[in-house]
Amino acid sequence: PEPILRSTAEAVGDPDSPVMVASTDPQASSVWWSKRVEKHGGLPFDFAQVDDPRDLGKLRNLHYEHIFVDTPGSLEDERILQAALDECDDVLVPMVPEPLCYDPTSRTIEAVIAPRGIPYRVVVNSWDPRDGLPDLQQTAQFIQRKGWAMCNAVIRRYKLHSRASAEGMVVTQYPRNRVAMEAREDFFRLALEMGYGGTAATPPQTASSLQEV
């Protein structure tokens, strides 16, 4: 979740209303990453590992403007995901534009998220522009057939994303070359679209409009 958190922190721009991420993932990969980043300039937001997702409700009493909850990436830890969702106001569902991701995403939304009545949006994540538009458009059409709300922003895949974790940095700490700026702006647009930076959320994107991405 790092890039969108960093972008949200910048978009909010208010030291009295900071951003926090609470990880409920038992693999604790976010903990590993956050410790590495702390050695290279620190995080622009607060971070906490929450072993019991029922404790998430206590965070509402704190002064944060936005609290993001990093949940397990599969239904193998469905108990943790369900407990985390019980404390959330909305959900952002990342979906890689590959057919193998269609069924797992459908099960997560239809079996766990939708029955709770929580507002949610699907964001197409890790799309490689070098692959062209077919996979992106096919995924958007699948989302449309399902009737899911879809984000306008599409998160492109860059080598910079994986290198940043390995090097203990956040994307915005790299020199401002073309790739670094594009990698940053995808998440910045998503943060603003979701209203995290004080801007009203925009309507979801349709499959046909992806032809101009």
pLDDT tens digit string along 56-88? 888 888 888 888 898 877 666 778 888 888 988
For residues 43 and 35, what is the distance between their CA atoms, to the nearest angstrom? 9
Provide the greatest CA pair distance for the chain. Answer: 46
Whole-model pTM over 0.85 = no
Backbone angles phi, psi at 56, to 5 degrees: -60, -30
**pLDDT-derived band at 209, boundaries 50, 70, 90:** very low
CB neighbourhood size of 89 (10 A): 8
Q: What are the extents of the domains in the chain?
A: 2-198
Q: For position 198, what pLDDT does the model report?
A: 52
Q: Does the domain made of 2-198 have the CATH classification 3.40.50.300? A: yes
Relative orientation angle of helices 159-167 and 2-12, to the nearest 10 degrees: 90
**pLDDT-derived band at 1, boundaries 50, 70, 90:** very low
Q: Do the Cβ atoms of 22 and 68 come closer than 8 Å?
A: yes
Q: Give the best-scoring range by mean pLDDT among 51-60, 142-151, 167-176, 197-206.
A: 142-151
CB neighbourhood size of 111 (10 A): 12
Average pLDDT (107-117) is 93
**Residue pointed to by tokens 């209203």:** 195
Lowest mean pLDDT among 12-21, 34-43, 157-166, 170-179: 12-21
Looking at residue 111, the DSSP 8-state letter turns out to be: I
Q: Indicate the residue type of 72.
A: P
pLDDT tens digit string along 90-111? 999 999 999 999 999 999 999 9
pLDDT, averaged across the chain: 79
